[in-house]
């Protein structure tokens, strides 16, 4: 199972493919994953620069299907002949941060180090079909079982990348075959993960497996929408569109109503490329619908690059791995799938959280600050915050240098333990102000609310009341309407480390308890 994001291919003859290795020294993927459950998410702004291959296609951006995936191509089942020369500079990373103790990072590093980037070969469609037969024959698997296993990986990888709080509305477009069945299962899992799925399933299959999947969704009150009920611009109504129309059995040109549906995905992609337009992501299960499984988008350029690409198939039995000489990836912890390639680079300056909190007025403040603390702590617990007992302990040494450590507190704030399990990095060194231009640039890159917030929060030190703060904020927003405010006029400063005199990485493993005052 793979989730991949794709990026602009610009019609060149290059493909970037994290794929199935064969042989003694290559990247570890399973053919099974490729055959059954490659999921690809499209977010056209990102690159996956570490997985490249040459693909002997001189074809260019001619066909509408390519428009949909003009940003990439991805091939779950690759003919060895076509993809002999794949160069993978793989960095398979665990997609989950939930590394358990049972997972050895040194073993992972060892496996990664063993990759020979230049000699990756791949399974043929025939190999993959053979594996299917073995799984569902002598090895005793059933289609619905494989579907459940694969699609759990699809759903978990979607939820890893696109959190339900920001991408709740999910449209699953299901085709008539097993790929469509994957879509039905995905909708069910995503419902349980907190998403609001909608399903478009225009060509229903009467087989009991599919009828059962539909009944399960109906029992969860998941709406089924006809093609006619879908808006022409899907981006207004859906944050994620799961393309589960066709997988490896697609052939020829898409027939109605799927031709129209594929065109809507094309439009969605084109909208996504327009600046200022709301973006919806497309997630393809196995392959983008309309692609031939070995040839890809037959009239399109061959390029895959994107940061979200996951591989599933953790259930592959050793007999299969041995027979096909698969080097399976080190799956982290209990994860059913693993990220292939490097995650997207994040523009740190664009990270922002909209801090909307309940009102906090003077008259509501507890007289005893400890009680106030407990009240907030209870709220944090009730809100399900992760490790609300995390704290920073700052101390100043005899040399006057301050330090801060991340810790957990125990029964009360004054009993704390230094066994906080996340790494902590401490940087020391002289600081300097950034240039006026950089200051201006950064300040104006922030949303208006953040600009006002930065100015207002400076004033808080002068002990304004909450009403005064709000009024001040309003005044500021009027003042800043023409966007001419300069951070320099407001005495806001941005500093950077001119040199780093020391950098310390902490990974505390010991327990330290201190009592108040000691």
Q: List contacts with ligand NPW (CB under 6 A).
A: 36-37, 132, 143, 146-147, 150, 175-182, 246-255, 258, 285-286
With respect to ligand NPW, which residue has the nearer C-beta, 14 or 297?
297
* CB of residue 2 to ligand NPW, shortest distance in Å: 11
433: β partners: 495
With respect to ligand NPW, which residue has the nearer C-beta, 94 or 177?
177
* CB of residue 250 to ligand NPW, shortest distance in Å: 4
Query: Could you give the 3-state DSSP secondary structure of residue 52?
Result: strand
* CB of residue 182 to ligand NPW, shortest distance in Å: 5
- Closest CB to ligand NPW: residue number: 247
Give the Cα separation of 181 and 146 in Å (integer).
11
- Structure-block tokens of residue 457: 């929060």
* CB of residue 176 to ligand NPW, shortest distance in Å: 4
With respect to ligand NPW, which residue has the nearer C-beta, 131 or 327?
131
With respect to ligand NPW, which residue has the nearer C-beta, 116 or 259?
259
Cβ–Cβ under 8 Å, residues 18 and 6: no
Burial of 239 (0-12, 13-18, 19+ CB in 10 A): buried
* CB of residue 153 to ligand NPW, shortest distance in Å: 11
Burial of 451 (0-12, 13-18, 19+ CB in 10 A): buried
* CB of residue 457 to ligand NPW, shortest distance in Å: 51
* CB of residue 246 to ligand NPW, shortest distance in Å: 4
Give the Cα separation of 103 and 195 in Å (integer).
30
Can you list the alpha helix ranges (DSSP code H) found in 297-366?
318-323
Chain centroid, CA 205 distance in Å: 32
The pair phi, psi for residue 272, each rounded to 5°, is -60, -25
Give the Cα separation of 498 and 494 in Å (integer).
12
Closest CA relative to residue 122, chosen from 325, 310, 373: 325
With respect to ligand NPW, which residue has the nearer C-beta, 14 or 286?
286
With respect to ligand NPW, which residue has the nearer C-beta, 258 or 420?
258
Q: Is the dihedral of CA 492, 352, 431, 405 positive or negative?
A: positive
* CB of residue 264 to ligand NPW, shortest distance in Å: 15
* CB of residue 174 to ligand NPW, shortest distance in Å: 9
Burial of 232 (0-12, 13-18, 19+ CB in 10 A): exposed
Burial of 87 (0-12, 13-18, 19+ CB in 10 A): middle
Give the Cα separation of 238 and 318 in Å (integer).
40
Closest CA relative to residue 320, chosen from 4, 514, 30, 15: 30
With respect to ligand NPW, which residue has the nearer C-beta, 259 or 366?
259
With respect to ligand NPW, which residue has the nearer C-beta, 249 or 345?
249
With respect to ligand NPW, which residue has the nearer C-beta, 259 or 493?
259
Q: How many CB atoms lie within 10 A of CB 421?
A: 10
With respect to ligand NPW, which residue has the nearer C-beta, 150 or 297?
150
* CB of residue 186 to ligand NPW, shortest distance in Å: 10
Closest CA relative to residue 437, chosen from 494, 497, 352, 496: 494
């Amino acid at each position: 199972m793979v989730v991949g994001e794709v990026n602009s291919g610009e019609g060149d003859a290059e493909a970037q493919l994290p794929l199935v290795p064969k042989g003694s020294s290559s990247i570890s993927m399973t053919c099974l994953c490729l055959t059954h459950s490659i999921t690809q998410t499209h977010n056209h702004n990102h690159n996956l620069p570490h997985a490249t291959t040459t693909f002997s296609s001189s074809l260019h951006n001619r066909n509408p299907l390519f428009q949909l995936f003009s940003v990439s191509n991805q091939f779950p089942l690759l003919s060895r002949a076509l993809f002999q020369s794949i160069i993978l500079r793989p960095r398979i990373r665990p997609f989950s941060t939930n590394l358990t103790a049972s997972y050895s990072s040194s073993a992972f590093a060892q496996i990664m180090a063993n990759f020979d980037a230049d000699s990756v070969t791949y399974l043929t469609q025939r190999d993959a079909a053979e594996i299917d037969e073995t799984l569902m024959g002598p090895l005793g698997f059933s289609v619905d079982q494989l579907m459940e296993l694969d699609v759990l990986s699809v759903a978990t990888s979607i939820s890893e990348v696109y959190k339900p709080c920001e991408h709740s509305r999910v449209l699953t477009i299901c085709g008539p075959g097993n790929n469509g069945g994957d879509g039905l299962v995905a909708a069910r899992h995503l419902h349980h993960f907190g998403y609001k799925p909608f399903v478009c399933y225009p060509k229903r299959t009467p087989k009991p497996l599919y009828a059962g999947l539909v009944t399960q969704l109906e029992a969860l009150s998941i709406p089924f929408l006809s093609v006619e009920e879908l808006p022409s611009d899907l981006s207004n109504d859906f944050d994620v569109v799961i393309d589960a129309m066709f997988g490896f059995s697609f052939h020829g040109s898409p027939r109605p109503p799927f031709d129209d549906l594929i065109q809507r995905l094309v439009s969605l992609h084109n909208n996504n490329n327009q600046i200022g337009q709301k973006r919806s992501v497309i997630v393809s299960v196995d392959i983008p619908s309309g692609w031939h499984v070995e040839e890809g988008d037959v009239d399109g350029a061959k390029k895959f690059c994107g940061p979200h690409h996951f591989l599933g198939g953790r259930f592959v039995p050793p007999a299969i791995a041995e027979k096909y000489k698969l080097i399976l990836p080190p799956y982290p912890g209990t994860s059913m799938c693993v990220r292939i390639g490097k995650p997207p680079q994040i523009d740190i300056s664009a990270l922002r959280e909209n801090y909307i909190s309940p009102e906090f007025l003077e008259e509501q403040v507890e007289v005893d600050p400890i009680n106030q603390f407990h009240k907030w702590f209870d709220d944090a617990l009730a809100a399900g915050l992760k490790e609300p007992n995390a704290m920073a302990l700052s101390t100043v040494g005899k040399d006057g240098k301050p330090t801060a450590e991340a810790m957990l507190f125990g029964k009360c704030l004054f009993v704390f333990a230094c066994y906080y399990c996340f790494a902590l990095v401490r940087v020391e060194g002289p600081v300097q102000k950034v240039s006026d231009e950089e200051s201006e640039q950064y300040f104006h890159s922030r949303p208006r609310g953040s600009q006002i917030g930065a100015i207002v929060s400076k004033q808080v030190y002068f002990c304004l009341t909450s009403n005064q703060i709000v009024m001040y904020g309003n005044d500021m927003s009027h003042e800043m309407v023409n966007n001419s405010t300069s951070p320099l006029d407001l005495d806001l400063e941005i500093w950077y480390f001119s040199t780093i005199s020391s950098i310390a990485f902490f990974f505390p493993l010991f327990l330290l308890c201190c009592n108040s005052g000691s």
